[in-house]
Amino acid sequence: MAETLSWRPHCLVSPKARPQSPPAHPAVSTQHNAQVRRTARGRRPNRALLTATSARFMSTASTPSMRAREADSAMTESRPGSSDGGGGGGNVKVVVRVRKFLQRELDRNAVCLVEMDPKTQRTTLNPPAIEDVKGTRKVYEEKSFTFDKSFWSHDEASGHYSHQKDVYESFGEEFLDHNFDGYHTCIFAYGQTGSGKSYTMMGTPEQPGLIPRTCGGLFERIREEQNSSITYNVHVSYFEIYNEHVRDLLVPRTSPPSYLKTRESKADGVYVQGLTDCPVKSYAEVERLMNTGDQNRTVASTKMNDTSSRSHAVFTLTLKQIQHDITSDSTIERLARMRLVDLAGSERANRTEATGQRLREGSNINQSLTTLGRVIAALSDPKRQRALQAKGTQSPSKRRLEVVPYRDSVLTWLLKDSLGGNSKTAMVACISPSDYEETLSTLRYADQAKKIRTRAHVNQDAVSAAERDAKIMEMQETIKSLQLCMNAAALRKRDEADRAGEELENYQRQVLKMQRAMEESKDVSDVKIRTLTQELEELRPLAVSLQNEVDSLRRHLALALGELKNPIVIPRNVDEKENYYATDEESEWSSDEEGQYEGAPVAWQVDIDDLMSDLGMFRRKVADDHERFGCALRKDCSVRARTEVLMMNNSRHSI
């Protein structure tokens, strides 16, 4: 369960608090102490000596425990390739644990369908009663499986009931031994929702699980280490995979949530970019970080589980041991990673009655677990293992067998090394005592996982004094070259900044010059506009007077043209003789008058030509003003234009 833990390191039984047997024979005691010291230095212990003295001496947390190996000797012999205490490759260690009845199961008088044999480690799943499976065509039959260890945690009255401490001592201490030897390890819990995974991994304040006990045992061994030449560095990280997104549990929640990206490199493998990695010096610091992560973890209540984990939680401890040998002046570094995974439980929507957000969470959980099952199936395929062992050119079909769908899920991608790579891995299959179908599915899952072989190796780097000095010199040269590069880059940046500053100043000066030029041009334009406006106002009265003259001349011209078109006719007398003199006089007068009128149009034409010349000159001036002022004089120009047209028409008529 994802509960807040308040367990302290003193929950673990320290060597001082354990009941001690009577002292053994001095010789045996001396041999045993020497053997413990050799074991602490990572050498293989003398199993016969430890077996002979196991009745007198109890294993402590500060020394690699052999109890788990001795207890599981029968199991490792039961199937070839089982993971043992030695190095190299081995199969995934699989244990199964059945929980107690929950209150809802007691209310419906559920029957336990699981049986476990503590001697053969055989787990048997019995079919449910006939009345419980009426109306279905499914065939329910007895199924048996054999695993590395079977933990009966159903009935406390049973003689082989397994407590939290028993689970840790069975294989938890063994995996802690592997970590001190320099191996990567991984323990993950799998099972149906509400089957006891979080209880097994985290536990409660009264009954701490694998994660708190492993952390406590780690710091207890470091504290009791007698070799002063070894330096220990421990780092902790804690994250969850929620809806296929990685979220750091050691930082406060944000809205919207902040997710991290998963990356892969040749040097570090698959890792989470930007994940918090906290150095710790004691179990109290680890406990504080665990409490912080548990409070930030996503949990919710469903019909199957009141505190259902809605995400996969991954708690990682990184142990680095640095041992310096004064005699040979060499340094040995060992790096081990402990990955403890609490998987979210598989669930069926019709049983959990989940809707909305809970339903989407369950769908993503089942998808990632399905991908995990496909990865396990691919890794445990005997054809694939034979293909990997075969040498020479492989056919396309064999190459396809080597493809494992790690990238189909964030969970399997992050557990890539733990499932089929450089790690010693254990799976805790948590089962329900009364659910036949889900329990059978989990047992089949676990039975397939135990066939996976890993390729674990010691992550150790031994460096002699000469090599260390050479590396130091190389690093110093690298630092110098980097400093030179940084200085050169700084100089380049400074020069670029200076050039950019000069260009900016030039641009600013040009802008100021352009602004001043624009202001001067504006002032000149304003003066021209004022001058032309003044000239226009002065010419406006002249234009009015000229217009009046044009109107007067138009009237005179109209009268003259009218007289020319319609002359006055003088009637003649019939008696020409009587009027001879009168006719002569009239003719003389008429000829004088006609001569007078014949000269008048010529004079008028001269006047009109002069007037047209003046108007042409005026028009040119107006055109110049129009070019200067635009359309300001358009109205006056139109008036003058109409005047000229009328005068031209009148002159044509007169001609």
Q: Helix 634-654 to helix 580-629 angle, to the nearest 10 degrees? A: 160
User: Each residue of 159-187: pLDDT tens digit?
Assistant: 889 999 999 999 999 999 999 999 999 99
Number of H helices, E strands in the chain: 20, 19
The region of weakest confidence among 192-201, 548-557, 590-599, 635-644 is: 590-599
User: What confidence score (pLDDT) does residue 89 get?
Assistant: 67
CA dist list (Å): 206 to 5, 12, 200: 9, 11, 13
CATH fold of 9-20+58-463: Kinesin (3.40.850)
Please give the biggest Cα pair distance in the chain. 200
> How far apart, in whole angstroms, are the C-alpha atoms of residue 453 and residue 384?
11
Mean pLDDT of the region 323-342: 86
What's the CA gap between 115 and 197, in Å, rounded?
A: 19
Question: In the chain, where are the structural domains located?
Answer: 9-20+58-463, 467-654
Residue 617, helix vs strand vs coil: helix
Cis before 256 (ω within 30):
yes
**Distance between CA 218 and CA 210 in Å, rounded?**
12
Q: Residues 600-627: what's their mean pLDDT?
A: 75
Q: pLDDT for 381-401, tens place per residue? A: 877 766 666 655 555 555 565
Catalytic residue among 85, 90, 172, 196: 196
Q: Is 266 a catalytic residue?
A: no
Q: Of the listed 342, 435, 447, 625, which one is catalytic?
A: 342
CA angle 88, 93, 96 (to 5 degrees): 175
List of long-range contacts for 9-18, beta carbons under 8 Å, 24+ apart? 9/216, 9/219, 9/220, 9/283, 9/284, 9/287, 11/208, 11/212, 11/216, 12/61, 12/213, 12/216, 12/217, 12/220, 13/165, 14/61, 14/220, 15/58, 15/60, 15/61, 15/62, 15/224, 18/58, 18/60
What mean pLDDT do residues 214-224 have? 93
Average pLDDT estimate for 360-374: 82
Q: What is the mean pLDDT of residues 322-327?
A: 82
Determine which one of 59, 65, 198, 308 is catalytic: 198
Which is higher by pLDDT, 107 or 582?
A: 107
Please give the residue that has the higher pLDDT: either 244 or 362. Answer: 244
Q: Which helix (H) or strand (E) holds 115?
A: strand 114-117
Q: Could you give the CA distance from residue 36 to residue 74 in angstroms, rounded to a whole number?
A: 24
Which candidate in 90, 182, 345, 420 is catalytic? 345
Rounded to the nearest 10 degrees, what angle do helices 465-565 and 634-654 cross at? 30
pLDDT at 580 over 60: no
| Known catalytic membership, residue 345 | yes
Quick check: is 198 catalytic?
yes
Q: Residue 619's CB: how many other CB atoms inside 10 A?
A: 15
CA distances (Å), origin 420, targets 91, 217, 333, 414, 442: 10, 27, 24, 12, 20
Query: What is the spatial distance between Cα 215 and Cα 535, in angstroms, rounded to a whole number?
Result: 103
Residue with the two structure tokens 């304003």 = 526
What tokens appear for 269 in the block? 């493998």
Which residues share a beta bridge with 151? 97
Active site residue 197: yes
Q: Which of 50-59, 419-428, 449-458, 618-627 has the lowest mean pLDDT?
A: 50-59
The larger pLDDT score, comparing residue 394 to residue 440, is at 440
Active-site residue (options: 93, 197, 424, 450): 197
> Would residue 271 show up in a list of annotated catalytic residues for this protein?
no
- Which tokens go with 482? 């980097």
Write out 399-444 in H/E/C secondary structure: HHHCCCCHHHCHHHHHCHHHHHCCCEEEEEEEECCCCHHHHHHHHH
pLDDT band for position 568 (50/70/90)? low
User: Which is catalytic among the residues 199, 406, 436, 445?
Assistant: 199
pLDDT digits (tens, 9 = 90+) for 100-143: 998 888 988 889 999 999 899 999 999 888 776 666 777 788 99
Length of the chain: 655
Q: What is the pLDDT of residue 587?
A: 52
Predicted local confidence at residue 471, as pLDDT: 81
Reported as half-sphere exposure (CB side, CA atoms, 13 A), residue 284 has a value of 1
In the predicted model, what is the mean pLDDT of the chain? 76
Q: Is the pTM of this model over 0.75?
A: no
Residue 190 annotated as catalytic: no
Report residue 161 CA to chain centroid gap. 46
Q: Which residues, in sequence order, are bridge partners of residue 427?
A: 94, 188
In contact, 237 and 271? CB cutoff 8 Å:
no
Report which listed range, 35-39, 376-380, 424-428, 458-462, is most confident.
Answer: 424-428
Q: Is 288 helix (H, G, I), strand (E, B) or coil?
A: helix
Q: Is 83 a residue whose pLDDT tops 70?
A: no
What pLDDT sits at residue 650? 56
Q: Which of 42, 182, 194, 216 is catalytic?
A: 194
